[in-house]
Amino acid sequence: MDGGATFLEITRNGTTGLWHPHVHLIVEGRYLPVGELSRRWLAVTGDSPIVDIRLVRNDAAVARYVAKYLCKTVPAAVIRDPDSLDTAMTALKGRRTIATFGRWRGFDLDAAPPDEIWDCVAPLDAILADARAGDAAARAILAQLRSPEQCHQSLTVSTPPPEPPAQLLFA
């Protein structure tokens, strides 16, 4: 393993109430067969041989994957339950949920990009409201952020959104 990044995620089973802490990793290095990875993971965890390994073929897909875990908080069901939220906050207090290792150590995953590459368009809630009302530019902005099929908000888009005007483009 040459280096990589790790992201801790916690979920909670709605039926059993059991916590499910797990890690997502991006690793740079030689391929490790899934069977070997599973044996090593079991040795580390003591109770779980469950692993999933995929070859990175698309940098943009990796960026979306990383962004998803950089932005995740504890699940909504945990936030709504004061006892669960207290348990999660106590368990996570002072813990690193995102880290780099190996050759990637020191790469700041939380660093804000330089201001000059961002264009402030509008608050996200305003863009979502405009998109729901049918505004083509707002829909184009959302299409750049995430495909409509993945949006948590219900936006029915029957045709692909048009290209946004040049002044609305952002990194």
The answer to whether residue 62 scores a pLDDT higher than 90 is no
Q: What is the pLDDT of residues 119-134, one digit of tens each?
A: 677 888 888 888 899 9
* CB contact at 8 A, 153 and 132: yes
Helix (H, G, I), strand (E, B) or coil at 25: strand
Helix (H, G, I), strand (E, B) or coil at 161: coil
Query: Residue 90's pLDDT is what?
Result: 92
Query: Residue 49's pLDDT is what?
Result: 92
Query: Residue 156's pLDDT is what?
Result: 41
CA distance 98 to 78: 20
* CB contact at 8 A, 92 and 10: yes
* pLDDT, mean over the chain: 78
Q: pLDDT-derived band of residue 61, with 50, 70 and 90 as boundaries?
A: confident
Q: What is the pLDDT of residues 69-122, one digit of tens each?
A: 777 778 888 888 899 889 999 999 998 888 888 998 887 767 776 766 666 778
What does the block give as tokens for 153? 């908000």
Query: Residue 102's pLDDT is what?
Result: 92
